[in-house]
Amino acid sequence: MNGSIPVIVTGAAGKMGRQVIQAVAGSNDMILMGAVDRQHLGADAGEVAGVEALEVPITPDLQSLCALVAQEKQAGVLVDFTHPRSVYENIRAAIAYGVYPVVGTTGLSLEQIQALAEFCDKASMGCIIAPNFSIGMVLLQQAAIQASRYFDHVEIIELHHNQKADAPSGTALKTAQMLAEIGKTYNPPQVAETEALPGVRGGLGPEHIRIHSVRLPGLIAHQEVMFGSPGELYTLRHDTSDRSCYMPGVLLSIRKVRQLQQLVYGLEKILD
Among 227, 253, 263, 264, binds a copy of itself (CB under 8 A): 227
Least separation in angstroms between CB 4 and a copy of itself: 22
Cα 39 from Cα 117, distance rounded (Å): 30
For a copy of itself, which residue of 49, 56, 130, 173 counts as binding (CB under 8 A)?
173
Is 211 a binding residue for a copy of itself by CB under 8 A? The answer is yes
Q: Which residues contact 183 (CB under 8 A, 6 or more apart)?
A: none
49/87 with CB nearer a copy of itself: 49
Residue 133 annotated as binding site? yes
Cα dihedral 14/136/216/211 (nearest 10): 120
Distance CA 112, CA 123 (A): 17
Q: Of 78, 212, 260, 263, which one interacts with a copy of itself (CB under 8 A)?
A: 212
Q: Which is nearer to a copy of itself, 1 or 191 (CB)?
A: 191
Which positions from 233 through 272 interact with a copy of itself, judged by CB under 8 A? 233-248, 271
Is 49 one of the annotated binding-site residues? no
Q: Pick the piece of the chain touching a copy of itself (CB under 8 A) from 44-52, 66-74, 77-85, 149-157.
A: 149-157
Binding test (CB under 8 A) with a copy of itself, winner from 185, 229, 259, 262: 229
**Is the CB of 15 or the CB of 38 nearer to a copy of itself?**
15
3-state class (DSSP) for residue 202: coil
160 is annotated as an active-site residue: yes
The residues, ordered by sequence, that sit 6+ positions from 152 with a Cβ below 8 Å of its Cβ are 184, 186, 187, 188, 229
- Rounded (5°) CA angle 130-80-174: 20
By CB under 8 A, the residues from 112 to 141 that bind a copy of itself are 134-137, 139-140
- Nearest approach in angstroms of CB 81 to a copy of itself is 16
13 is in an annotated binding site: yes
> Which residues inside 182-201 make contact with a copy of itself, applying CB under 8 A?
187, 189-201
List Cβ neighbours of 150 (8 Å cut-off, separation of 6 or more): none
**177 scored as a contact of a copy of itself (CB under 8 A):** no
59 is in an annotated binding site: no
- Of the residues 83, 164, 174, 269, only one is catalytic, namely 164
Q: Classify 39 as helix, strand or coil.
A: coil
Please give the Cα distance from 130 to 43 (Å, whole number): 29
Q: How far is C-alpha 19 from the geometric centre of its chain's CA atoms?
A: 14
Using DSSP's 3-state secondary structure scheme, residue 35 falls into: strand
Burial 73-99 (b: 16+ CB within 10 A, else e): eebbbbbbbbeeebbbebbebbbebeb
To the question of whether residue 105 is assigned a binding role by annotation, the answer is yes
Active site residue 73: no
- Between 50 and 60, CB nearer to a copy of itself: 50
Residues 76-105 that bind a copy of itself (CB under 8 A): none
**Under rule CB under 8 A, residue 204 binds a copy of itself:** yes
Residues noted as catalytic: 160, 164
